[in-house]
Amino acid sequence: MSGAFIVFEGIDGSGKSTLCKRVAETLGARGIPAVATAEPTHGGIGAIIRSGAAGPISQETEALLFVADRNDHTERIMESVSEGVVVLCDRYFASTVAYQSSGLDGVAVDAEWLITINSRFIDRPDLVILLDIDPEAGLGRVDSRGEEVSKFEDLEFLRRVRSSYLDLAERFGFRVVDASRTPDEVYEEVASIIRGVL
C-alpha cells in the first residue's frame, strides 16, 4: 500500500492533536504504518520558534521561520510517505496563512504573500481536514486543560483565524468537520473521510 499525507488544521482547542494521535494509533493497530507529527516541529527551527529564542521578530520574519521549519519537515514527511507510511500532521501551510494574516498585535501579513512563500516549499497533502469550532468553545477547552495560554490564543484574533481557515477550505478543497461535537462523533466522521482516501 502506498502512504498518504494527511493534515489536520484548526484553531487552538479544536481537538487536532488528540485526533491526530488517535487516528495514527487506530491505523497502526490495523497494521497500517502511520505516524503523527506536528508543526511547528519540536526540533531545529521548530524548537527555536516554540522557545521564543528568535527574540522579538516581525510577523513576516516569524512567517518565514514557520515556512523554513516546514521545508525541512516536508522532506521528512515525503520520505516516509514514499516508504508507505500514512503521515498525520497537526498543522501545515494553512496555519501560517490563517494565523499570520490575522493581525496578531495589529500586524496582518498579506495572505497572498503567505501563500506564495509556502508554495515554493510545500507538497500538496492528499487530504486536509479542518476541525471547525467557535473560538469561545475552543478557548474554553484550552482553559479546562489547564494549559498555558499562548500569545495566539486571543478571542478576537482566533475569530479572524477561523474565518481565514474557512476561506482557505473553500479555495483549496479542505474537508470541514464540525469539531464542537463529542470527540467520538468527530473521530467517526474523520475516520470515514480518511477511509475514503486510503
Site of interaction with ligand TMP (CB under 6 A): 12, 39-40, 66, 91, 95-96, 99-100, 150, 152
Nearer to ligand TMP, 142 or 198 (CB): 142
Shortest CB 31 distance to ligand TMP, Å: 29
Nearer to ligand TMP, 3 or 40 (CB): 40
Q: Please choose, from the candidates 69, 76, 194, 73, the residue with its C-alpha nearest in 3D space to the C-alpha of residue 126.
A: 194
Shortest CB 95 distance to ligand TMP, Å: 4
Task: Calculate ∠ Cα 64-141-7, nearest 5°.
Answer: 45
Nearer to ligand TMP, 99 or 187 (CB): 99
Phi-psi region of 91 (alpha: psi -120 to 50; beta: other; left: phi over 0): left
Please give the Cα distance from 182 to 155 (Å, whole number). 22
Shortest CB 98 distance to ligand TMP, Å: 8
Nearer to ligand TMP, 121 or 152 (CB): 152
Burial label for 120, CB within 10 Å (0-12, 13-18, 19+), is exposed
